C-alpha cells in the first residue's frame, strides 16, 4: 500500500520566506528623490546665485539729471534681475526724487534693465517761508530752489509750510495764473511778482509800473481782463496803488 505524502509548512515560515524575497528586490525611489533634490539645488543656484541673472546693463531714457541717472545705476547694477521688486524700487525712487512724474522698469533677461522715466516740467514758482519750489502743471511742488530774480514768483503771504512732492495748487489755478500773465503782457503791463493771500482765489499781481492788479482765480479771466483793459486805456494815470477787477462789471482803482 502506497503511503501518501503530506507537505506541511508552518505559516510563520511562509511569511518569513516572502519577506526575505521582498527584501532582496532593489528600489530606485531613494535615488530618484536624491536626483530631484540635486537638480532643484542646481537650478536655484543657476537662477539666483551664479551671476547669470545679475544686472550688468541699464538703459535709461527720459531722465536729464545726472544725479538721478547715477543713483538709478548705483541701485540696480549687480542685483538679481529675477528677485528685483520693481514696485518698491519705483516707489522709493519717486519719493527720493519728486521731480520724477512717471517711472517704468522693463526687464530684459538675462542681465539688462530698461528704465523709462518722465521728469516734471516747471510752469510756475511758489515761495513760502523764504523757501521756493518749482511747481509742475499738475500743481505739485517737486523741487526746492533758490529764489530766482528773472522770473515771476508767486509769494504765499500766509506762509504755509510746503513740502517737496505735495500738491499746493490746482490745475485750474495754474491755468488762470499763466493766462493772466500772458494777457497782462499783451496789454504792455510788466509783472514782476505775484501774491497769494487769504485764499488761492485772490491773486495780486505786482507790476513794474508801481501798482497792483487784484484778481479772483475763481471768476472769469476774460471779464476781468476786459475791465482791466478799459481802465488801462482810459484811466491809467489815475492808478496809484491798485486796480481791483474781482467784481463783474466794476473796476475799483486807487
DSSP state, residue 5: P
Q: Is the pLDDT of residue 254 over 60?
A: yes
- Asked if pLDDT for residue 26 goes beyond 90, the answer is no
- For the chain, the distance separating the N- and C-terminal CA atoms, rounded to the nearest angstrom, is 154
- Domain residue spans of the chain: 57-119, 124-253
Query: What is the DSSP code (8-state) at residue 112?
Result: E
Long-range contacts of 237-244 (CB under 8 A, 24+ apart): 239/211, 240/210, 240/211, 241/211, 241/212, 242/204, 242/211, 242/212, 242/213, 242/214, 243/211, 243/212, 243/213, 243/214, 244/214
- What pLDDT sits at residue 238? 87
Residues 6+ apart with CB under 8 A from 156: 126, 127, 128, 162, 196
Fold of 57-119: Ubiquitin-like (UB roll) (3.10.20)
**What span, in angstroms and rounded, lies between the C-alpha atoms of 41 and 72?**
32
CATH architecture of 124-253: 3-Layer(aba) Sandwich (3.40)
Cβ within 8 Å of residue 253, ≥6 positions away: 231, 235, 238, 239, 242, 243, 244
More confident residue, 28 or 189: 189
Report pLDDT digits (tens) over 40-59. Answer: 776 676 567 777 888 899 99
For residue 211, is pLDDT > 90?
A: yes
Q: Say if residue 4's pLDDT is above 80.
A: no
Amino acid at each position: 500500500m502506497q503511503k501518501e505524502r503530506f507537505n506541511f509548512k508552518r505559516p510563520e515560515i511562509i511569511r518569513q520566506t516572502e519577506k526575505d524575497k521582498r527584501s532582496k528586490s532593489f528600489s530606485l525611489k531613494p535615488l530618484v528623490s536624491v536626483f530631484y533634490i540635486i537638480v532643484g539645488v542646481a537650478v536655484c543656484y543657476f537662477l539666483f546665485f551664479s551671476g547669470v541673472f545679475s544686472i550688468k546693463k541699464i538703459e535709461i531714457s527720459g531722465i536729464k539729471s545726472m544725479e538721478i541717472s547715477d543713483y538709478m545705476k548705483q541701485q540696480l547694477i549687480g542685483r538679481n534681475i529675477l528677485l528685483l521688486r520693481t514696485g518698491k524700487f519705483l516707489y522709493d525712487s519717486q519719493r527720493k526724487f519728486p521731480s520724477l512724474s512717471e517711472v517704468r522698469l522693463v526687464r530684459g533677461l538675462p542681465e539688462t534693465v530698461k528704465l523709462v522715466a518722465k521728469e516734471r516740467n516747471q510752469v510756475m514758482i511758489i515761495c513760502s517761508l523764504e523757501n521756493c519750489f518749482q511747481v509742475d502743471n499738475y500743481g505739485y511742488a517737486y523741487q526746492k530752489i533758490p529764489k530766482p530774480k528773472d522770473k515771476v514768483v508767486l509769494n504765499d503771504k500766509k506762509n504755509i509750510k510746503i513740502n517737496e512732492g505735495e500738491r499746493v495748487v490746482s490745475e485750474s489755478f495754474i491755468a488762470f495764473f499763466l493766462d493772466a500773465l500772458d494777457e497782462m503782457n499783451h496789454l504792455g503791463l510788466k509783472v514782476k511778482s505775484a501774491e497769494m493771500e487769504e485764499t488761492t482765489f485772490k491773486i495780486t499781481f505786482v507790476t513794474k509800473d508801481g501798482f497792483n492788479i487784484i484778481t479772483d482765480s475763481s471768476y472769469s479771466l476774460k471779464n476781468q481782463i476786459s475791465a482791466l483793459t478799459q481802465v488801462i486805456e482810459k484811466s491809467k494815470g489815475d492808478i496809484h496803488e491798485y486796480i481791483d477787477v474781482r467784481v463783474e462789471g466794476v473796476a475799483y482803482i486807487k
